[in-house]
Structure 1
Amino acid sequence: MMKMKKKRAAAAAIGIAMLATAFAGCSSSGSKPEAAGTGSGGGAQKEEPYKFSVMMKSFQNDAITSESKIWKQVEEYTNTKLEVLFTPDAAYGDKLNITLASGSMPSVIFTANAKLPSIVNAIKGGAFWEIGPYLKDYPNLRQMNETILNNTSVNGKTYGLYTARPLGRFAISYRKDWLQAVGMSEPKTTDDFYNMLKAFKEKDPDKNGKDDTYGMVVTKYSGPWDIMSTWFGAPNKWGIDKDGKLVPAHLTPEYMDSLKYFKKLYDEKLINQDFAVYDSAKWNDPIINGQAGVAVDVVDRSYQIDEKMKAGNVKGEMDVIAAINGPKGAPVTPATTGYGGIFLISKSAVKTEADLRKVLNFFDKIDDKDMQILITYGIEGTHYKVEDGKLVTILSSDSPQAPDINIKSFNQLLIGVPNVLDTAFKAGTPLRAKANEVKAANEKIALPNPGEPLISQTYTQKGAQLDQQVEDARVKFIVGKIDEAGFQAEMELWKKNGGNEYIKEMNDAYAESKKK
């Protein structure tokens, strides 16, 4: 998550330019975007800028200030006077709790977790505006995804503006040159996938005459197992049984089917035998070093590995595919939550509906295409340039920036709806372009988690321990320390340790949500 956010922050540095340039171009042609609150008629009086504050994260010590040209353009475009209360990411959780407890809140507060007990309690106590009924009135905000809005909801109501992330972000990244070397085509089923991994181990895909390769690299991060289990029909964390009740994924027969498949991969040494302790920070290394040929993770891993290989003059080529067909039929991939956090609007600081609408208007207008480009990439000619339709960084967000052109951390303001940044410029490489296509295609097959918007008190208190117990049992099964009966015994213990209460609370909340 941190890497992704830093990437956004880095991208942000490039972007201010575009909006500035876009505005300059519009101005010179006599069609500068109309600021918020300005009438279309020549005699209309511009309203006073609306002053409000936002508390959010920063990922650089020298975050943007109001001296920046970008900041000033945003204020002019939205007819606002903005105060941003930046807090370093590492200290943000403590600052958030202190702010909520103090009762003295800024106009807008960011939280990465919509289901934090302190946030939920504040919502239930009436601290924040319910904004769901207003979204339809704004051209960008009305395009928010219903699944993601549901994921961030509390008691079936929308209180936050989510910061969008791709719903269909998971895929299979693999060594295309290896697949060609072993004479196989792109896998389409779980059997094909197994055969690819087997060939990568046994058929000398790098043609060096040595038995020194294997199929897929897996780390102690459990994401790949969760992704692959849905290929076999297991739900995305929570499923709905024949009686309409929620059931955890790990208690379904399909989950056990996936475990048996994973165990087969392990037993035949098609994955690294130290996966349970392998550092996720080194995930790419075995592929770049020519030891492994596949990683199941986010789409972006494909081009990240490919570009590192090329930068290191490593001979090889990566490719990416979305989900594959499992024994149950059509391909699916687990949907992400679809958001990186939410902005909540305080009732104590934003007292009237008229002022609420001004805040919503601000977030709507900064998601106009030119504004997203400005806030994300910067000023053209200063932070970036465009060559053959492709964006090229001049001044990254890691570079020192003078106060008047600083853009650092400002992109944390963006909602990202609609998603214009993936298509604002030509993709830097064909693989990046394909990655964007896979993400878009995945949205149609992304499997939602029906339990995502629900809150369980037991999980709030014991969630980490409950999750770890399931994960430990999965690893034990894969490596052969327990059999199927042993796994079921572990799940019975899980139920006694709080799982039964967790399931009941989730089903109670689910039934209640259906009444609304």
Structure 2
Amino acid sequence: MEHRKGKKLQKWVIGAAAAALIVTGGCSNKENAADSSSASGSSASDTSSEKPTEIVYLTTGDVGAKPLVPNDRIIAEIDKRLNIKLTVKIAPESSYDKINVAIASGDIPDVVTTQYPSSSVSQWIKDGILVPLNDYFDKLPTIKAKLDNGLQWTAVDGNYYGYPFVSGAERSNYTVQFRQDWLDKLGLQHPKTLDEFEAALKAVVEKDPDGNGKADTFGYVTNKPGDGDLLTGFDFVLYAYGLPYSDYELNDKGEVIPRFEHPAFKKGIEELRKWYAEKLIDPEFVVYDRPAKEQKFFQGKAGFMDGPLFRHVSRIEGSLQQVNPDGVLGYAPPPAGPDGKQGMATVPKTALFTAVTNKAKNPEKAAEFIEFMLSKEGRDLLELGIEGIHYTKQGDKITYNEAERAKDGFADNGWAHPLAWGNVSWPIDENYLPQTEPNIDRARDSVKVASQYFVPSLITRRTDVEIEQGKNVNEVYNQYFVDLISGKIDVDKGIEELGKKWRKAGGDEILKSVNEEYQKQNASK
């Protein structure tokens, strides 16, 4: 949704990155609501005499989305079609902590989107905060079909307490990205091996590719992990040295062990330690979120970064060219290690979970709202808008009315409404690109490239113990990882200490649970 160029783009990206508070949007303007009603071809609730059901929806957003606007005609159209009065509260993308704080404080919405599986969702289910959807399945054909298609593992005692959207299981857009214009200036091809990658980083640091006469450019920048997540921005180096799985590994006895006890982990750490010592890595990555990392790239402070592409190609290159009109975005497969091994994308074990809470006065109507966002009717509205206002169609050709779309928060160049992504869907999973996307070939090619380098998980699902203890052990891992690559601690001593503290923080219980899960997994094959 966020593919766009132009002067407004960078200002919006910076503004979205700086947003720390939940933004609330809704439609209360009767005149706007009437306008959208007259333009719609749907009349599902037009003649209803029932009072509209008030629904408050709290969700995480999309880093590429524009903010919701007052008197939004898309929300007014949703209201009309479903006979509801919708208020939307959007937290920044991946800000699940803000969602959890809201729920914990008693500010419970009618519908909520958060991360799954998580200890928060498990607790909400135990506390009766989430309402099972099973009783409403006759009104939820899209949700029911998706749950029946491989999501049965999300049921708790036969009940489905929400719709779990697992993104990126088969298609990836996670790549190594770089300043192609800088590599051209330096006479370098995109690096195919770790040695070539290191040489390219050195050239970026030492040969002043931006021509400002200052040694102010780092080679590679990544960002800190989300709350409770693993730091993964350097994992492509571990995979290049032969780390076979993305979560756990096996010892000689066939037992599940932590990833840092595999020999490839030590080799990867030693490589990264060398890069860090040579100032090839931006040392401040530990405080950057994804937008801040991207700003470093846009501003010419780093030549390489990791991150998603597909729909982001135009957004990233457009933002880069706001600072440097000659800037060109490049991307490539992850570099190969000494034995030719390489990997970057991983199969996720998490989902975006959208559920109805016990606060909903009409839980069936709230569930129908989730169904609408997933249905073809809902997708068409959120992606295209209202026909005759936001777009026109002749055969298969769509003409976007950008002036009208801008009034309702649609992103530029045919991209979608703020509610389109970040809750029950992402563009990559629907292979969605607007007809106006200027970099459509590169966007599709980035997925083709990234999807060749999936690294499998040893354990296909998260255990209950992992959900409960995962945050604690991940914090231990992340701290030692940073200390190891920054040279604050000896490699062998650090890995040994990491093993002890990781196990003490909950790792022993986790290993027991994942070993049991691994045995069950193998027995079912």
TM-score of the aligned structures, taking structure 2 as reference length? 0.68
Match of 1:505 in 2: 513
Residue among 318, 328, 346 paired with 1:307? 318
SS of residue paired to 1:56: strand
Most deviating of 114-123 and 374-383:
374-383
Q: Does 1:480 align with 2:487?
A: yes
Residue equivalent to 2:94: none
Contact 2:241 2:337 in 1 (8 A): yes
Amino acid at match of 2:262: T
The alpha carbon displacement at 1:174 in A equals 0.5
Contact 2:205 2:218 (8 Å CA) reproduced: yes
Q: Report Cα offsets for 1:336-384 as digits up to 9, x if no partner.
A: 6386621235699799xxx97x877764454344532422453467667
Distance 1:12 1:174 in 2: 39
In structure 2, the CA distance between the partners of 1:377 and 1:312, relative to structure 1 (3 Å rule), is farther
- Partner in structure 1 of residue 328 of structure 2: 317
Partner-residue secondary structure (3-state), 2:489: coil
Q: Write the deviation string for residues 308-335 of structure 1: whole angstroms up to 9, x where unpaired.
A: 2322344321122343434454643233
| Residue matched to 2:308 | 298
User: Which of 465, 470, 485 is the equivalent residue of 2:477?
Assistant: 470
SS in 2 for 1:184: coil
Conservation of the 8 A alpha-carbon contact between 2:192 and 2:333: no
1:13-412 maps to which residues of 2 (within 5 A)? 55-57=56-58, 70-71=74-75, 73-74=77-78, 80-82=82-84, 84=86, 86-87=88-89, 89=91, 92-97=99-104, 109-123=111-125, 128-129=131-132, 138=141, 142=145, 149=151, 159-163=161-165, 165-167=167-169, 168-206=172-210, 213-220=217-224, 222-234=231-243, 235-239=245-249, 245-276=255-286, 282-299=292-309, 303-327=314-338, 329=340, 331-335=342-346, 337=348, 341-345=352-356, 363-369=370-376, 371-376=378-383, 378-379=385-386, 392=402, 394=404, 396=406, 410-411=419-420
Moved more, 325-334 or 312-321: 325-334
Gaps of 5+ in 1: 14-19, 37-45, 401-406
Structure 2: distance between partners of 1:301 and 1:55:
30
Q: RMSD of the alignment, in Å?
A: 5.4
Looking at structure 2, the residues matched to 49 and 417 of structure 1 have their Cα atoms a distance apart, in angstroms, of: 34
Identify which of 491, 494, 504 aligns with 1:496: 504
Counterparts of 1:288 and 1:307, CA distance in 2: 9
In the alignment, residue 371 of structure 1 is paired with which amino acid? G
Output the amino acid matched with 1:129.
P
Q: Determine if contact 1:165/1:338 at 8 Å carries over to the other structure.
A: no
3-state DSSP of counterpart to 2:234: helix
Counterpart amino acid of residue 230 in structure 1: Y
Q: Contact 1:74–1:366 (CA<8 Å) still a contact in 2?
A: no
Are the aligned partners of 1:372 and 1:414 in contact in 2 as well (CA < 8 Å)? no
Residue 173 of structure 1 aligns with an amino acid whose one-letter code is Q
Cα 1:276–1:4 shift into 2, 3 Å: closer
Contact map agreement 2:55 2:111 (CA 8 A) in 1: yes
Using the alignment, how far apart are the partners of 2:192 and 2:25 within structure 1? 34
Q: Residue by residue, what CA displacement relative to the aligned partner does 1:244-268 show, whole Å, maximum 9, x if unpaired?
A: 6443322322222221221121233
Structure 1 195/391 Cα, relative in aligned 2: closer, same or farther at 3 Å? farther
The 8 Å contact of residues 214 and 270 in structure 1, kept in 2 or not, is answered as yes
8 Å CA contact 2:176–2:334 kept in 1: the answer is yes
Which of 427, 434, 457 lines up with 1:424 in the alignment? 434
Could you tell me which amino acid in structure 2 is paired with residue 170 of structure 1?
Answer: Y
464 and 340 in structure 1: CA distance in 2 versus 1, 3 angstrom threshold:
closer
Please state whether the residue corresponding to 2:203 is helix, strand or coil. Answer: helix
Deviation at 1:295, TM superposition (A): 0.8
Match of 1:332, SS state, is coil
**Size of the alignment, in residue pairs?**
474
Q: Per-residue deviation at 1:175?
A: 0.7
Stretch moving more, 122-131 or 159-168 = 122-131
Partner of 1:41: none
| Cα deviations by residue, 1:178-231 (Å, 9 ceiling, x for unpaired) | 122222323333333223223333455446777654422345554412354334
Q: Could you say if the C-alpha distance between residues 164 and 24 of structure 1 is closer, same or farther in structure 2, counting changes exceeding 3 Å?
A: farther
Q: Aligned equivalents of 2:37 and 2:60: distance in 1?
A: 27
SS of residue matched to 2:374: coil
Note closer, same or farther for the CA distance 1:498–1:262 as it changes in structure 2 (3 Å cut). Answer: same
Does the 8 A contact of 1:239 with 1:247 survive in 2?
A: yes
* Alpha-carbon distance change, 319 to 109 in structure 1, aligned in 2, over 3 angstroms: same
CA distance in 1, matches of 2:313, 2:452: 21
- State the AA in 1 paired with 2:162: G
Distance 2:54 2:452 in 1: 37
Q: Which amino acid aligns with 1:479?
A: S
Cα distance in structure 2, aligned partners of 1:318 and 1:497: 42
The 3 A distance-change label for structure 1 pair 33 and 238 is farther
Separation in structure 2 between the aligned mates of residue 284 and residue 224 of structure 1, nearest angstrom: 13
After superposition, the Cα gap between the structure-2 partners of 1:362 and 1:240, relative to the gap in structure 1 and judged at 3 Å, is farther
Q: 1:366 to 1:383 in 2, by over 3 A?
A: same
CA-to-partner distance for each residue in 1:273-309, whole Å, 9 max, x for gaps?
A: 5545567654234433434311122326654442123
After superposition, the C-alpha distances for 1:6-30 in whole angstroms (9 at most, x for unaligned) are 9xx99999xxxxxx999999x8xxx
Cα 1:171/1:497, change in 2 over 3 Å: same
By relative contact order (CA 8 Å, sep 6+), the higher-ranking structure is 1
Separation in 1, partners of 2:485, 2:335: 21
Aligned to 2:450: 442
Q: Structure 1 length normalisation: TM-score?
A: 0.69
For structure 2, the 5+ residue unaligned runs are: 1-12, 28-33, 62-66, 92-96, 226-230, 411-415
- Give the match for residue 40 of structure 1: none
Q: 1:111–1:5: structure 2 CA closer, same or farther, 3 Å change rule? A: farther
